[in-house]
Chain A
Amino acid sequence: MVPLLIGVSIISFGLSHLSPGKVGDLLLRQSGGVTSSESAQRFKQELGLDKPLPVQYLHWLCKAIRLEFGASFSTGASVRQEMLKRLPATLKLTATAFLIMIGLSLLVGIPAGLRPGGLFDHISRLFSTTAIALPNYWLGMLLLYLFGVHWKIFSITGDASGGRVLLPALTLAIGMSAVYSRLVRERFLEVFSQDYIRTAQAKGLALPAILFRHAFKNALMPLVSLWGMSLGYMLGGSLLIETIFSWPGVASFAVQAVLNRDFPVTQCYVVLMALVFSLSNLTVDVLQTIADPKLRRNMQAKKV
């Protein structure tokens, strides 16, 4: 985890040296300074841009740990404050989308897996084929038009409060639940062909009891490892969805920053998202080890 974070920080730092116009020059031009070589030199000294790269990196890292990326080029406000103010909205959107995704994929996947080849299986296949190919930004705008403009149920502009999260979260969730419902279906198909399920059926257990007591955990455990991945997809997808629904989160802020060449904001966003992503991957790993005795045994076996 720690070497990984160091690597992540090096990549984030390297991004600032990719830009064709050096950051210092860009900053100078935007602050309206005279671009004589003398003033440029002085400016670079102030920012520490004349030092060798490793020194610059360490300097940058010390600040990056505290998420200090200086002031935004366009607004002049502290990037850190602005980002932390907006982060809860993005986390709320992502978390809601995540819950919707799991709910929807279970709802579509389980009945399809119980009766393969049945009517519902075909409907669920149609759903997933369509939803995978549907651009979520298009779907988002169509929903925005229907609910926001046509029926006027959804307020187009506004803050991150209350039920306003549902529409963007649903849009963000649909693509992923299409993939997920297929996996859920396959898992339930597999589990229901196992002997212990047949035993439970032979005992005369009702379907809900079989589902929840016997099948659920075994079927879904392997899918938990994909949670981290799908979270990464949602964090990326929030770039589009937040922009469409004018959701006041970090992603829409970052998109604006890229358009304005506001470098500190972009960099802070990239580092922040890598942090959130790594932490959630770690959490998923820990959760899985706690919940799955098989995995725990494997790990102990490896240690010996």
Chain B
Amino acid sequence: MSWAGIFHNTSILLGGALIGFLLITAVAGPGLSPNDPFQIDLTHRFEPPCQTYPFGTDHLGRCVLSRLLWGSSISLGSSVGISAAIMCLGLGIGIMSGMGNQRVDFFIMRMVDMLLSFPSLVLTLGIIGALGPSLFSAAVGICMGWWPVYARLVRGMVLSAREKEFVTAARLTGTSGIRMTTRHILPQVLPPVLVLASLETGTMILVFSGLGFLGLGVQPPQPEWGAMLNEARTYIFTAPYLLIAPGAAIFTAVLGFSLLGEGLRQAMQVRAVNPW
């Protein structure tokens, strides 16, 4: 796969552009926002879009656009962080399982089986229930719910990578286990895993904002997209337009990551995993 090929893939280009745009809003959001996202002004509740409030105001008179811009760093930052953590966990444990002796492998895989007997989101809910609703417990819960899938996947990749002839050759020349892992196995496993991480980040945004929506993740008054939707839900009769902006933001972000990931996946010919 050449660089030129990547630039000719519309899916990658479109996804990359969407993510680039959102990253700019996430980084520069606080500077770009026209108003203070925490400023409560009860005289300006439910204002329609106007010059000072381009997207209108919410039930406490806060500027929706400002909250959206501030929220993008929370929503995107957390989701990317969670996705990276899951990848690291999955990669580390999967390689341990694939490279370790039979007993280690057996132990890890049974552990994975156990965790996979829960629907991922249900396990996440259980962990949040134990730790109490907050951003931190949502992040821990999501990591625990999703790493087993990736550990199993990485293990499979490691096992097939070990079958390659140059790996056998390296083993015969007496390469140590650690050097074998870092120099011969990891370079084979890492590219497909990174591609899947991009696809996974989209799912993480959905799940993380979903938890925020249920009130189990980021707590008010923090302007997270899911939490904003939750606040808007109460006013579905009086101010239904409040539903539009946060939902559209989540949709755009997920679309960006899934287009990029899907494009990269096809370009690099990585086998798909089921996204649930």
A-to-B contact residues, CB < 8 Å: 3-5, 7-8, 10-12, 15-16, 18-20, 129-130, 132-135, 137-138, 141-142, 144-145, 149, 176, 179, 226, 229-233, 235-237, 239-240, 243-244, 254-255, 257-259, 261, 263, 266-267, 269-270, 273-274, 277-278, 281
Contact = CB atoms under 8 A, between A and B. Distances in A.
Contacts of B276: 176, 179, 229-230, 232-233, 236
B86 interface: no
A75 B216 CA distance: 21
A interface, over-half SS: helix
Given A135-B250, A141-B229, A237-B121, A19 B243 contact: no
Interface of B: 110-111, 113-115, 117-133, 202, 206, 209-210, 213-216, 226, 229, 233, 236-237, 240, 243, 246-247, 250-251, 254-255, 258-259, 262, 274-276
Nearest to A233: B276
A235 B255 CA distance: 24
Contact of B119 (A141, A145, A232, A267): A232
Contacts of A277: 117-119, 122
Contacts of A135: 206, 209-210, 247, 250-251, 254
Contacts of A5: 117
A231 B258 CA distance: 22
B236 A133 contact: no
A4 B116 CA distance: 10
Contact of B126 (A10, A12, A226, A240): A12
30 contacts: A7-B114, A8-B114, A11-B115, A11-B118, A16-B130, A18-B131, A19-B132, A134-B254, A135-B210, A135-B247, A138-B229, A141-B236, A145-B240, A145-B243, A149-B237, A176-B276, A179-B276, A232-B120, A235-B119, A235-B121, A236-B119, A239-B121, A240-B213, A263-B129, A266-B129, A267-B126, A274-B122, A277-B118, A277-B119, A277-B122
A273 B118 CA distance: 7
Contacts of B274: 179, 226, 229
A15 B110 contact: no
Contacts of A232: 119-120, 276
B251 A269 contact: no
Nearest to A8: B117
Contact of A270 (B122, B247, B251): B122
Nearest to A14: B130
Nearest to A272: B122
Contacts of B123: 11, 270
Contacts, number: 160
A269 B129 CA distance: 11
A171 to B, nearest CB: 13
Contacts of A244: 233
Contacts of A281: 117
Given A4-B113, A237-B121, A240-B213, A144 B236 contact: yes
B251 A258 contact: no
Contacts of A278: 117
A137 B120 contact: no
A26 B274 CA distance: 40
In the complex, which of the residues B214, B233, B246 has the most CB atoms of chain A within 10 Å of its own CB atom? B214
A3 B215 CA distance: 35
A239 B129 contact: no
Contacts of B131: 18-20
B72 to A, nearest CB: 15
B214 A243 contact: yes
In the complex, which of the residues A138, A179, A237 has the most CB atoms of chain B within 10 Å of its own CB atom? A138
Given A129-B258, A133-B258, A270 B118 contact: yes
A18 B236 contact: no
A132 B121 contact: no
A142 B236 CA distance: 9
A11 B114 contact: yes
A137 B215 CA distance: 13
